[in-house]
């Protein structure tokens, strides 16, 4: 045994030869990494326990939504994730009085802002809002404008700010390596998530609404297992990284209690299946609504339970407090 402390001793056991991984840019190896959808066409991704409210103390209302990535049938052999998750944070500022320089408004002035974090996607984003973020803000405002009862806050304004910590992708990352460009499908999932998380934050802020709005997405894809090659199938809550050939997709903001659609955004060649695609998106929105209602109910129960505990402690303290004679 070498006892020379000035030298780095070798390992006590044997050593193995280094194993080099295969190049990711190899076309055959790259195609083997493509993820596949393991869920059924009408099965949604689970978001239970990943929707929370009151996470920003300085805001009037806030919410956090996380939708995990789809499970893939392929075994991961690289450090690159097959698909991304969806992580959104929404904060509500207001309602608050408008500046005196602003003309009188008989109803609430709604302002929506959607901003991607610089690290939200594989390609680093800038700090200035781009066209995609502005489009998302406009669609989100349209979805929320028909929900809030604005007549109760004249000459007041509320600002809805959604920060995308991790955004759903337009397609599989391997297609970028092969030279194919995404079709911008991921913004539909981002819009549906923004509608759901904004609705939870608005309810947390105590702003009166006609109903709870939720977002849902449906898509029409070509069935890779069909023999003819032109067979299409409708899927709910698609993860666009799991599908190679997407025909059309639709995102909606849906009021289940009133059976109304406040916003609809469609991309692709819908053809004669527009009603079917819209119906699938509303079904996905109903699935998100069930989780949204459960999260809001838990938040309300925790809030009133805390208030009841504080009331009991204050009442007990009042009963045990004795008057002190200050005359002497």
Chunked mean pLDDT (size 10), the chain, 328 residues? 66 66 59 69 71 89 85 54 79 90 88 91 83 92 91 91 86 57 79 93 91 92 68 84 83 91 90 87 90 88 71 57 48
Q: If you write DSSP's letter for every residue of 225-244 in order, what string do you get?
A: T-SSS--EEEEES--GGG-S
pLDDT at 11: 66
pLDDT at 121: 82
- Nearest residue to 238 (alpha-carbon basis) of 250, 252, 253: 250
Who's near 48: CB < 8 A, 6+ residues apart?
A: 291, 294
Q: How distant, in Å, are the alpha carbons of 26, 74, 167, 246 from that of 177?
A: 10, 19, 19, 19
Report the b/e string of 254-287 with b at 16+ CB within 10 A. bbbeeeebbbbbebbebeebeeebbebbbbbbeb
- Nearest residue to 220 (alpha-carbon basis) of 184, 266, 259, 189: 266
| Domain covering 33-71+79-307: architecture | 2-Layer Sandwich (3.30)
Q: How distant, in Å, are the alpha carbons of 63, 228, 237, 272 from that of 241?
A: 26, 23, 12, 25
Instruction: Name the pTM for this structure.
Output: 0.80
pLDDT at 324: 45
pLDDT at 328: 47
């Amino acid at each position: 045994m070498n006892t020379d402390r000035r030298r780095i001793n070798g390992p006590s056991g044997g050593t193995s030869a280094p194993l080099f991984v295969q190049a990711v840019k190899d076309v055959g190896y790259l195609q083997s990494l493509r993820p596949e959808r393991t869920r059924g066409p009408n099965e949604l991704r689970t978001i239970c326990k990943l929707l929370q409210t009151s996470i920003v103390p300085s805001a009037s209302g806030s919410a956090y939504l996380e939708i995990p990535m789809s499970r893939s049938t392929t075994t991961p052999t690289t450090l690159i994730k097959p698909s991304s998750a969806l992580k959104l944070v929404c904060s509500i500022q207001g309602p608050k009085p408008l500046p005196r320089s602003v003309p009188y408004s008989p109803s609430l002035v709604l302002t929506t802002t959607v901003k991607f974090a610089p690290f939200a996607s594989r390609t680093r984003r800038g700090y200035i809002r781009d066209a995609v973020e502005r489009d998302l803000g406009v669609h989100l405002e349209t979805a929320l404008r028909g929900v809030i009862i604005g007549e109760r806050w004249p000459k007041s304004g509320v600002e809805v700010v959604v920060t995308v910590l991790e955004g759903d992708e337009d397609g599989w990352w391997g297609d970028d390596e092969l030279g194919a460009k995404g079709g911008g499908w991921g913004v539909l999932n981002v819009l549906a998530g923004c509608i759901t998380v904004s609705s939870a934050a608005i309810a947390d802020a105590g702003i009166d609404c006609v109903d709870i709005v939720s977002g849902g997405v449906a898509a029409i894809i070509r069935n890779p297992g069909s023999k003819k090659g032109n067979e299409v199938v409708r899927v709910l809550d698609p993860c666009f990284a799991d599908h190679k050939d997407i025909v059309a997709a639709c995102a909606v903001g849906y009021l289940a209690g009133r059976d109304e659609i406040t916003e609809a955004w469609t991309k692709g060649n819908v053809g004669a299946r527009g009603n079917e695609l819209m119906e699938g998106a509303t079904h996905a929105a109903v699935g998100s609504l069930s989780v949204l209602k459960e999260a809001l109910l838990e938040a309300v129960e925790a809030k009133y339970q805390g208030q009841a505990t504080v009331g009991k402690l204050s009442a007990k303290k009042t009963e045990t407090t004795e008057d002190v004679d200050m005359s002497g």
